[in-house]
Structure 1
Amino acid sequence: MKKILFISVLGLLSCNRNNQAHPPIGGVLSQNDLDVSKNRMKNLNAQERMHIQEWIDGQPVKYYPTRLNYWVNTEGFDLREKRPDNSLISYSYELYDFDQTKIYDEPIERKDAKFGHFDELKAVENALRFIHDGEEVTILVPSALAYGTYGDEKKIDNDIPLIIKLKAQ
């Protein structure tokens, strides 16, 4: 019995020594760690953009790239006049993966949100600057502009690009 216990402890210790320690969220990272993370995100973004473009090529609807690195189904969308800071907007959106599976049953809704004072996905906030009242647009978003490397800690995993159907009321 002592031999089994000794071998088990020895096995656990030998497995544990190869684990790399990671600093906590908000912890200090070395320049090398930051460079590795930056390169990972750059490569991930390039792969996601390639996969999204392949998906677009198979669709009957045309999508147009924007300056913020997402696509929208309205030509010249981000060349429109921007809504100013502190203006109010009510909107809703639904989230889909690229298999076109709806992620949440209910849309995410905001009433009378004030620009410059609300926290939203980068791509959604940017698209809201250009959308007209009553207009509905579909945006295709790489994970870096969606929920990134952590996901939403509910149904959306890390590094998931999204299809967002956004409507301004």
Structure 2
Amino acid sequence: MRLALNAILLTLLFVSCKPQEARRPLSISSGSFISESIDRNKKLASKEEALIQKIIEEDTAHQYITSETGFWYFYTLKDSISTTTPKFGDIVTFNYNVKDLKNNTIYSEQELDTITYRIDKEELFLGLREGLKLMKEGEKVTFFFPSYQAYGYYGDDHKIGTNIPLITEVTLNTITKESTTKN
């Protein structure tokens, strides 16, 4: 009996020393979800850009400029003398409104009130953040942002839904250079 018990213990010891094998995944992902998502986003961006281009083509009253970061704009009031634009850390005050591409007001200038914003150091949607850097004090600019430059997939959790391209009319009131705000 003692011999049988030793044999069982020896067998258990031998089996338990076997190296563990790696577990295989239950499903294999090929990355197709990411590829499909990229394709969907490219199609959505093309569709939105085509809608904006159609508005631009039909608007003969304004001269549109294409930004380096993927939005369009025109000046309602332009300062051709000053060369000062806001840079990283500068404080700006501005007023703006938000509309959809059918020119329906989403947020009025009165609702949004005057905004004080430190360039690139505070939250603001991408397109507006970049647009402000193009402006000079006293200028009024109308921007056309595809949804990826605005609130994108998530919207703003209030009035702006998923993937909504926007028009914003912005007046830059003041620029306070960062060097003058340091103590």
TMscore range, shorter length = 0.7 to 0.9
The residue number in structure 2 matching 1:128 is 132
Partners of 1:30 and 1:151 in 2: how far apart?
A: 30
Instruction: Decide whether aligned partners of structure 1 residues 107 and 32 sit closer, same or farther in structure 2, where only a CA change above 3 A counts.
Output: same
Matches within 5 A, 1:57-76: 57-59=57-59, 60-74=61-75
Partners of 1:37 and 1:30 in 2: how far apart?
A: 13
Tell me the matched-pair count. 137
Deviation at 1:67, TM superposition (A): 0.7
The residue number in structure 2 matching 1:93 is 96
The residue number in structure 2 matching 1:43 is 43
Matches within 5 A, 1:6-155: 31-59=31-59, 60-74=61-75, 83-105=86-108, 106-109=110-113, 111-155=115-159
Residues 101-151 of structure 1, C-alpha deviation per residue, up to 9 Å, x if partnerless? 111243434544212211111110001112111111000010111111121
Flag the structure with larger Rg.
2
Structure 2 counterpart SS, 1:148: coil
Structure 2 counterpart SS, 1:37: helix
Instruction: Decide whether aligned partners of structure 1 residues 81 and 168 sit closer, same or farther in structure 2, where only a CA change above 3 A counts.
Output: closer
The residue number in structure 1 matching 2:6 is none
- The answer for unaligned runs of 5 or more in structure 2 is 1-28, 174-183
Q: Is the contact between residue 85 and residue 137 of structure 2 (CA under 8 Å) also seen in structure 1?
A: no
For the aligned residue pairs, the C-alpha RMSD in angstroms reads: 2.1
Q: Is the contact between residue 92 and residue 107 of structure 1 (CA under 8 Å) also seen in structure 2?
A: no
Q: Is the contact between residue 146 and residue 162 of structure 1 (CA under 8 Å) also seen in structure 2?
A: yes
The equivalent position to 2:162 in structure 1, one of 158, 163, 169, is 158
Worse-matched range after superposition: 30-39 or 158-167: 30-39
TM-score norm. by structure 1 comes to 0.73
Q: Is the contact between residue 45 and residue 142 of structure 1 (CA under 8 Å) also seen in structure 2?
A: yes
Instruction: Decide whether aligned partners of structure 1 residues 30 and 142 sit closer, same or farther in structure 2, where only a CA change above 3 A counts.
Output: farther
